[in-house]
Structure 1
Amino acid sequence: MSTTGTRSVEALTEAEAATELAALAAEIAGHDRAYYEQDAPVVSDAEYDALRRRNDAIEARFPQLVRPDSPSLRVGAAPVGGFAKLRHRVPMLSLDNVFAPEDFAEFCDRIRRFLTLKDDPLAFVGEPKIDGLSISLTYENGRFVQGATRGDGTEGEDVTANLRTMKSVPRTLHGHAPALIEIRGEVFMTKADFLALNAAQEAAGQKPFANPRNAAAGSLRQLDPTVTAGRRLSLFAYAMGDASEPVAPTHWAYLQRLKAWGFTVNPLSQHLAGETEAAAFEAEMGARRAALPYDIDGVVYKIDDLGLQRRLGFVGRAPRWAVAWKFPAEQATTVLDDIDIQVGRTGALTPVARLQPVNVGGVLVRNATLHNEDEIARKDIRIGDTVVLQRAGDVIPQIVSVVLDKRPATAKPYVFPHICPVCGSLAVRPPGEVVLRCTGGLTCAAQTEERLIHFVSRPAFDIEGLGEKTIREFHADGLIKGPADIFRLPAHESEIAQREGWGELSARNLTRAIEQRRTISLARFIYALGIRRIGEANAKLLARNYRGFAGWRAQMLAAVAIGSEARSDLGSIVGIGPAIAEELAEFFAEPRNVATIDELAGMLTIEDAAPEAGGGELAGKIVVFTGTLETMSRPEAKAMAEKLGARVTDSVSKKTDLVVVGADAGSKARKAAELGVRTMTEAEWRALVVKEQH
């Protein structure tokens, strides 16, 4: 039932009109959220239209009262997380970056070492790196059926309806296409279209977008597809995800297939015969960058041979066969007003520069990292100095140097604190490290808040509606004291709805988002705990090795004992090692941490990690390589094993299933013989891999 007035518009006073416009703005916004986000309208179309018409009529009579949040200035609802999640068949991983010729040369050398190539030239495809929003398009029998944003790389947001409004997304593929194929590309906005959009935003009294990338992302993530349809978005296709059949032998040939199917491929992309041509292409794109009709921040180089791409595979969240060579960092000068200390989730005290705002590469920068105490001393950075600020790609801005001839007499050296500024605990510098850490642990409010923010972050539990600001507010008010309290928030839905800036729909959305995350993969769960040195890659490695939560928990508790078999097994996992094993052991040695884990486990469903390959002879087996391998590098052999579902460790024990013995094998081969562990030669290993792959 509408709460707005029924008097004729002509009879309203200006004060009455202002009051009613405020009520209409709130009421219509609520109906928009119910319709666009919930798919559950609470009024008929006729009733909704009547509210919009009354709002328009009042604004026509009192134009001076048009509100910034007026329904007449928007279509549909704001993009606040109403999209369904879509899981990618093949993950959309990120790229490693290089910034200099020597970095690119090292990237090429790593490829050669991995593939045991000598000085063979490496053929690449170079593609300008568009500054936009990555998307994945799924086609079945040549017809576009689904589209998603990159998201966290594993799952993104279903924006199919919005992608259908784009002329550059073919509805059907021309000619023969696989029965199923995922096509990846970049949605972007040209500079001209960006300027036109911002002019329209300002004319409508709305906030302009900061840059073309934000404009493209915001346009594609509108809950009302008609808003997306009214904005000029472009697409360059450039990569492939899953496919039901081979498409091409090389990446360059694949780009030609994309064009034949009806996609736009960046016409500046080039086939490059080797590193010299790649470096020349980088210089050419850098020189042409400013004149291009769209923003680029570097060039992506991909090994052209798809067979070599498959052999190289991935490490962590990035392919070994591709890299983004970013353009030189953009710099500016400004004044350092002050230095603050931020305390992170692991207790690290990080100095942050507070700067006079300055534009660097199109971004207004007010803060920059100063890394640590030694870095401040090495660069002799003082409060009041004029400093050179650098921002390279998406890297956090940093201070490169001080302009000494502009140093004022009042500039003060910075004295690094040895007391935590949040909880007052002693801050110590562990031997061999450059970072001071608060010793307050979970009693330090800053560490608790940062751990909670990490817990709900995108690679962890990814809970919509629980951003940094909300976590800090809920923690300060006692609604959330630890991770388990997050899953108690639905019981406080009515209380949350009464909080400033919330409301019934927002609170209900939060409850739904939390309930959707009561089932989580083991890898995400491990990462969410915020254990020092356990990033996404190591979390996945642990999940793959221990398979299930119960087994992982039991082995971590057993690994607390120094010299235990469990500690040895943990440290022998390739990619973990003794130092990280010690961090895990220290975490599980703290009873409060174990209690937190157990409390969460009782509230959640933690899914076992699936083997990387199903049903084969190597799935779930523990493999050790020893001696010199002559036909492949050790990293390639390890990658082969993991691709087939095996776990690779560095030491032989009674749990080892297979030892691959290369030339000049030593103690590991002898120990395998003593324990009766199965061994095979490199040639036998290759034959087994071929058999497993087919």
Structure 2
Amino acid sequence: MTFTEAKERVETLAAELKQHNYNYYVLAQPTISDQDFDYKLKELAALEKQYPGLLDPNSPTQKVGGEITKEFQTVKHQWPMLSLGNTYNEQDLLDFDQRIQKAIGSNFEYVVELKFDGLSISLSYEDGKLVRGVTRGDGTKGDEVTNNIKTIHAIPHHLKPGNYPAEFEIRGEVFMHKKAFERLNQERLDNGEVTYANPRNFASGTVKLQDSAEVAKRPLDCFLYFFYAHKNQFKTHWESLQTVKTWGFPVCEHTALCSNIQEVLIFIKTWETERFKLSYDIDGIVLKVNSFEQQEELGFTAKSPRWAISYKYKAASAETILESVGYQVGRTGAVTPVAHLKPVLLAGTTVKRATLHNANEIARLDLYEGDTVFVEKGGEIIPKITGVNLDKRTPDLKPVEYASNCPRCGTELVRKEGEAAYYCPNDEGCPPQIVGKIQHFIGRKAMNIDGLGDETIENFYKRGFLHHISDLYELHQHIDELRTLERFGEKSITNMVRGIERSKEMPFEKVLFGLGIRFVGETVARKLARYFKTIEALQHASFTDLILVDEIGDRIAESLIEYFTVPQHLEQIEKLKKAGLQFAIKEEVNELQSEKLAGKSFIISGVFEKFSREELKQKIEQNGGKILGSISAKLDYLVAGENMGPAKLEKAQKLNIPIISEQELVGMIEG
């Protein structure tokens, strides 16, 4: 390779790796496997070593990876959060062991730990109190996510009295258990939202949410595995792990002290298969020299410690036959392709199906029915097809053609610009959509109707009792027929009727969520209900009105407008109103404390330092002020916090509306 060719290759690799770093650390949506990333990184490092003049200080080989998001305060790490060198073969581990022996002799031990597939976090404690939680970021600086970290039950906010330093840091990994991931991802799918590829991405995306109340709803967990203090009271890493456990920190039980590399290799071999029995994902094993003194002697490279290395397991993979492609229809009409495979043993289980995500994925893989395909189960919960063995493709095979019509009702599928999925638009006549909508409506997070379950809804639909959600409130007319059903006795009927009657008291935001409008999840429904107050106001809101609401973007606004243009949807809302459901917010009566803001109107937008938006709203109303739903010439003040929407700011500026801070508002009240 000439110098010019090497230069071009280095620039290409650097650009690719920087983008992959951004996808992984910032967007939490990786587009390349860890193994492929590491191979590219090694190729770049080899070229930079061969041609030193091509080494750039900003090269991915010189950085840990990641960027700082703009939503959080940036904090510099007291001790850099370096990444570990990776390997996928035992010989590299033996070579690593030889390097250690050459540097410090043979009198040392290893601590071996599971390598969790999550988000690295650093926690700072002062006098036993959690004061700061910071992500790894670029290794030198990270995002402060303290409020979000405090929602993780495993992490102590205050330590019991003990022999710990006045100030210290402890580091670890935030992750999500597989079952929680499956449940939450299914909820996103049901809501028509983009799903996460694996638990690691879901955990990362959750930690970086702006609203800690939303973080608290997602069950995150944490293992901690490294202790830092200016004066370390421990002699070994093993001793520190055993002690911090007694202080109340979550430390993984699957950790071992090894006296030599052979014991390390036995540990690695054991967990190559045992890892599939864990409730969470791991992607490898980490080994560290145990003695802190020896760690200090071995030191660091620019990017990683010389006293530690990670061994990564290759993703479990198998080869099998793609027998056919089927399609599933969700309650929002999204059509998901599923590969039906010749059964094959993979990661300890027999795999018969694999996800294909969407039409783009089928095209990318260039799939033919009858192909021999590679199936992988790594960080993914559901197996996926990663490629085709073209050497085994025969001339008689035909390309997979994506379905043009709904597999359940025959309606022609549609695909909106900018969306990956095809949809069945026949939401009033497609069986899985009808059943799915009613099942969603009765669910715990929507109307929470006791006495009805998913199987019962499906049974009632098949028998003609239910076709719309409003039919639930007519079920009392079919009591005699219900009594004839198997396993549906008098007690079941009584519970059902009572549950349906109680649902009429559920607040507007729950009813709105229960309607099952595409992209309107639980959080969006709550924001819309609180902003517009009534279904009528929401129904008549313009596109501009909708996007002025926090977290409501173009896609949600368009979906809402489209929903309210369908006559059948409006008819359903009218029937539900007549049944007695809540389609307006019951405003709490605030006790008036003063008239200082009387005659003044306000809108609150952004994130504030001392008060939440709800608290500021309450203060305004308690002092005679009025909260408006949208910006207009009638507005007196826009109370602006951090990260407020640009559309609101621009409209307020055009109308010359005074923009005041949190402090100025408090001054108006107190002054």
Instruction: Give me the TM-score of the superposition, normalised by structure 2.
Output: 0.50
Instruction: Give me the TM-score of the superposition, normalised by structure 1.
Output: 0.48
